[in-house]
A and B are shown apart, each in its own frame.
Chain A
Amino acid sequence: MGTLEKIKERFGNKIKKIFMHNEKRAYIEIDKNHLLDFTEFIFSLPGVRFVTASGVDNLDNMEIIYHFSFDPEDLMVSIKTFIDRNNPEIESISNIIKGAQNIEREMYELLGIKFKNHPKLTRFLIDELPEGVYPLRKNAERQVEQ
């Protein structure tokens, strides 16, 4: 059974949407409350590698995309979650995947997303920015001018 089938079988209707860009790229949209279950299951599958996470500011919400690579199958599974832009908060996956610590710190710093239960949620890249200015948000330039 392929990786995607395993994920579909395990989670069924917890998957909001599944989109295959092509046979190598799968995008799975989930609710943020199921994130830890998904991460734990996907990280236990054979051949998995956590690549990174991309935080995106969509102006009406925030989006986090967790990229997992299944190298033996040449498959990249991207788990998408949407969170409220006014109160960007989500569970940290760093306690499951050690390698996610720094990328979460980076998203905290550049996008202002808070990761609950993160072992060390401190600034990592830039020290000088005033609190509340998040460079990767789409309105960052305006924030700096103000």
Chain B
Amino acid sequence: MKKVVVPLGPYHPLFEEPEYFELYCDGETVVDIEWKAGYNHRGIEKLSESKHWDQVTFLVERICGICSTSHPIAYCNAVEDLLKIDIPERAKYIRSIIGELERLHSHLLWVGLAGHFLGYNTVFMWAWKYREPILDIMEMITGNRNHYAMMKIGGVRRDIDNGDIDIIKKILGELKPKLEMLTGSVIDDPVLAARLKGVGVLTAQDIKDYGAVGPIARASGVDIDVRRDSPHAAYDLVEWKVITCQDGDVFSKAVVRLLECFESIKIIEQCLERLKKVKGEIAIEIREIPPGEGIGHYEAPRGECFHYVRSDGSSRPVRHKIRAPSYVNIPTFKTSCVGETIADVTIILAGVDPCYCCTERAITVYDANTRKKLFNGRDLITLSQEKTKKLKKRLGIKDE
């Protein structure tokens, strides 16, 4: 049988940044996958060396539009590690609140998109509708729906008004039953189970080999979470638990993300309650950064963000190394996609939760020998949706 190369990208709504995948297919089955990155390479590590320590916080916020507070938290953790300082208690709670609100909206965004790729547009509509009030809370607290600019070395830049706390709690309270309904509708759905269980499986050994992190690791039974393992912000001051699943398939990844939303709400509610009582400063003043090295990490919605900074005592970092979670999660495709069908690859790639800052769609399937176009991006999503429809028919479930 002749092999077909299926290029995915560089611009595709599945990917968090323009990236390029080449799927080598034998008939419907993927036999190998190649990855090429760099389409969105902005040289942020180099840029960081030309910015003041305080400016870098805003620079790293621009790494990702969806998890835009994770990089500043990780960076501030790194500099605070270098300085060996602890931040004020009120700032700790505010950091956790912003971090968890971000996780909530990021996970809901993923659930919606995953629903769309599988032909469950109701899930897509619900998830994105329920995400909206969270962005409203963000706007209320920070003034922005995204890029909150809340973090600062030594604390946070803006306080949360105690008068807003009850309103935020009310919005979250209203969100909870809706989230429960959404979670139930995904976890209990027989078609989704048939479509996602056993697809794109990663074992704990694969996770170790690739160093994968976040919900990808936790869905394979690897119990790691920086928030618990390396306590910072308010994560050791409130009650919550790390969600893990054992199967390592796309279904487990969905379950982990959905259940994490409830933990996030639990963390936010406790932090808000404490904020009412904790008074005092929200940041300590840093006058200079002495020579030295610092490492900071933070559990972003997609996994661990890692920052390493080195100072020579001047006003700028001499080296700033950043490792985003997708950098180690994406290479797992080499294991998870091989042996699967093209229709499933769409959801396996989406299962890693790349974010959606690029909306242009430009994928086309070429015949490897004649270079003749076979399908485009829309056709591939249709292929995935068709598979769900067929499954529904087989299971005797009527289409929506």
B375 within 8 A of A: no
Interface 1/0 per residue, B345-384 and A, CB below 8 Å = 0000000000000000000000000000000000000000
- The chain B residue with its CB closest to the CB of A137 is B46
Complex alpha-carbon distance, A56 and B45, angstroms: 11
Interface 1/0 per residue, A98-111 and B, CB below 8 Å = 11011100000000
Complex alpha-carbon distance, A140 and B292, angstroms: 24
- The chain A residue with its CB closest to the CB of B39 is A125
Write the nearest CB–CB distance from A144 to chain B, whole angstroms. 12
A21 within 8 A of B: yes
Contacting pair A49 B211 (CB below 8 A):
yes
Contacts of B229 in A (CB 8 A): 71-72, 74
In B215-235, which residues have CB < 8 Å from any A CB? 224, 226, 229-231
Contacting pair A56 B295 (CB below 8 A):
no
Write the nearest CB–CB distance from B98 to chain A, whole angstroms. 23
Write the nearest CB–CB distance from B242 to chain A, whole angstroms. 11
Question: DSSP majority for the B interface?
Answer: mixed
B36 within 8 A of A: yes
- The chain A residue with its CB closest to the CB of B230 is A74
Interface 1/0 per residue, B182-223 and A, CB below 8 Å = 000000000000000000000000001111110000000000
Contacting pair A51 B46 (CB below 8 A):
no
Contacting pair B38 A126 (CB below 8 A):
yes
A81 within 8 A of B: no
Contacting pair B323 A52 (CB below 8 A):
yes
Binds A, one of B134-142, B272-280, B282-290, B303-311: B303-311
- The chain A residue with its CB closest to the CB of B41 is A125
B396 within 8 A of A: no
Given contacts A22-B84, A99-B209, contact A51 B38 (CB under 8 A): no
Interface 1/0 per residue, A51-62 and B, CB below 8 Å = 110101000000
Contacting pair B308 A65 (CB below 8 A):
yes
Contacting pair A51 B208 (CB below 8 A):
no
Complex alpha-carbon distance, A60 and B323, angstroms: 26
Residues of B within 8 A of A (CB): 36-38, 41, 43, 45-46, 81, 84, 208-213, 224, 226, 229-231, 292-295, 297, 304, 306, 308, 310, 318-319, 321, 323, 327-328, 331
